[in-house]
Chains A and B, each alone.
Chain A
């Protein structure tokens, strides 16, 4: 049942679409690279899980989505948030625990959410998201909005009962739901080659009667196309799809992770496989975008991230009153 998606020359994005996709990927990368640097200074509370290296997944999927659509994310959620349009400065302030943050400093890195953008939240519980997007997909189906819902989850969550139950329910209810398994090789420190009993996570799709697709997660165009097909099918009433995106994360499970569980695969990935490098090379080669255009986007993104950090550091912290607010709507 598993089909290996093939990259076609026709990726269905015009120059504006390509620029947007590149900007999205670059924003995620610079956001995460900067967090890597800033976390080391000790100014950021708690812990963060960085998405660097995985940008093509969030971007490839979310460039197929619009305002009708919802996504649920993971503890490694910054990339999904940015790709679904959550405001970057608010995110940075949230990660610094500031009152100006997306969640007013009460969520943090693992709980950034913006329901007005259809972003149901990063999630501190592995496997927490897939059941939730069955609900948003059900709401879209009942209300006839044409909306599609996407659950991003990792190879670790692919072994959680919630994920498997949700895939079955989505198939039984024929929901406009997409399950994107981001297989970065490790659930915390445990290899997915060991923890996933099947050869591929996508192979499990057959057990739920849905298509399963494996995609090169370093290739934006491959993800974009595979997701586009699945999302179009879901919008048309064709039910759910499982997409397995394979790649490597550039940093550890969390910042500070010494990564003694893996060999140095990151240098090779950064050098040879990197989604941004490949995107640049391809669009320059096809003449769709110029190096100068891309460089200009890079500069704008760097400026945005710089401002985000500066403003987040200067932002006010929550007040004691905030401790007690927003537990309930009425109580």
Chain B
């Protein structure tokens, strides 16, 4: 029987289950409890993270939910260091945009230890971070920066597209022995979905075929999966059956499933909310062009925002984020292609 819970609660449930299962799992971040737990006269666990994702953990797991100063370099680095010393820290980098003040600890430290130290380091750290446009949060709180992490060898990058995916992928992230960047779309926290109660892990590097179809392959990431699904309905009404592939993780990337689908459909549209240059969308496009060129019946289309910062005004932001209509248009471009 279906049990509908939110993306937020699915993430909280994954954290709870893993903290119950494994006492080396700890959680840290700004306002992760907040209030009295950080010495103020207010309520204990006042916030549970800025959007309430970690709410309730503080009381359940004494000493294992740590509030931090606003010092991303220090606490992300501490999470990395603690991971080398036997803990499985889950650090919350509130907004992915804040990687700008702590990227060194992620890409020069955590990502490099295994290789640089000759295979002797184990750094099972998870950095949860929220990304994405749609909340009128403007240019410094809305970016989609998973391509920057994907670029770095040594990091795994997860982009869950639904509550079910978020829970299973976060459980995998916590159990995984490599550093993982877990990217939560901030506009999805209230999205409801069917989520089993118990623990389950979704393996990394195994794409999910969200919808079957033979006419075009749509590869979509994170929140763009639901945008692609909306487009697919309209396309179906026009006689075009789209196959939607959700890679789930951008590193590792399940190229096999993508290539297999394109070999069958002959058409590829990638929907990626990140900026268009050097993006995951363009990367997937390049991989398919290199490896399945002969199967393509038209030019690959990549649906992205424009190459601009994320604007504040709701009018502008709505224009910025790729829409189902943009996806429909892209599919029609490739479907109608004549040599």
Contacts and interface: CB of A to CB of B under 8 A. Distances in A.
A132 B89 CA distance: 13
Contacts of B178: 328-331
Nearest to B121: A115
B94 interface: no
Interface stretch (B2-10, B45-53, B68-76, B225-233): B68-76
B104 interface: yes
A209 to B, nearest CB: 13
Given A106-B115, A169-B75, A135 B121 contact: no
B44 interface: no
A131 B78 contact: yes
Contacts of B307: none
B119 A131 contact: no
Contact of A120 (B84, B104, B112): B84
Interface in B64-113: 64, 66, 68-69, 71, 73-87, 89, 101, 104-105, 108-109, 112-113
A111 B117 contact: yes
Interface stretch (A96-104, A185-193, A278-286): A96-104
Contacts of B63: 142
B109 A132 contact: yes
A331 B117 contact: no
B77 A166 contact: yes
A172 B28 CA distance: 13
- Identify the interface centre among A105, A106, A113, A138: most chain B CB within 10 Å of its CB: A138
A104 B118 contact: yes
Chain A interface residue number, banded: 35 or more
B26 interface: yes
Contacts of B187: none
B77 A131 contact: yes
Interface residues of B, number: 47
A165 interface: yes
- Identify the interface centre among A104, A166, A328: most chain B CB within 10 Å of its CB: A328
A326 B77 contact: no
A128 B87 CA distance: 20
A325 B119 contact: yes
B53 to A, nearest CB: 21
B177 interface: yes
B120 A331 contact: no
B84 A128 contact: no
A107 B116 contact: yes
Given A124-B108, A330-B177, A139 B86 contact: yes
A27 interface: no
B68 A169 contact: yes
A142 B81 contact: no
Given A104-B118, A125-B104, A139 B82 contact: yes
B109 A128 contact: yes
- Identify the interface centre among A135, A139, A168, A330: most chain B CB within 10 Å of its CB: A135
Contact of B86 (A111, A116, A143, A169): A143
Given A135-B78, A327-B153, A330-B178, A169 B71 contact: yes
A142 B73 contact: no
Interface in B1-40: 26
Contact of A113 (B69, B117, B177): B117
B116 to A, nearest CB: 4
A151 to B, nearest CB: 10
A132 B77 contact: yes
Interface string B168-200: 000000001110000000000000000000000
B326 to A, nearest CB: 33
Contact of B114 (A101, A124, A131, A328): A328
A161 B69 CA distance: 13
Contacts of B71: 165-166, 168-169
A184 interface: no
Contacts of A330: 176-178
Nearest to B114: A326
Given A132-B81, A162-B73, A125 B115 contact: no
A63 to B, nearest CB: 22
Contacts of B121: 113, 115
Contacts of A125: 104, 108-109
B328 interface: no
A328 B205 CA distance: 13
A135 B154 contact: no
A64 to B, nearest CB: 19
A158 interface: no
A70 B78 CA distance: 13
Contacts of B86: 139, 143
Nearest to A328: B178
B85 A135 contact: yes
A121 interface: yes
Contacts of A149: 81
- Identify the interface centre among B80, B112, B116, B178: most chain A CB within 10 Å of its CB: B116
B297 interface: no
B76 to A, nearest CB: 7
9 nearest A-B residue pairs (beta carbon) = A131-B77, A135-B81, A326-B119, A135-B82, A132-B81, A103-B118, A165-B74, A104-B118, A139-B85
27 contacts: A113-B113, A113-B120, A115-B117, A115-B121, A125-B109, A128-B104, A128-B105, A128-B108, A131-B78, A132-B105, A133-B81, A134-B74, A135-B80, A139-B82, A139-B85, A142-B26, A161-B73, A162-B73, A162-B74, A166-B71, A169-B71, A172-B68, A172-B69, A327-B153, A330-B178, A331-B178, A331-B205
Given A121-B116, A125-B104, 5 more contacts: A161-B73, A166-B78, A168-B71, A329-B178, A331-B156
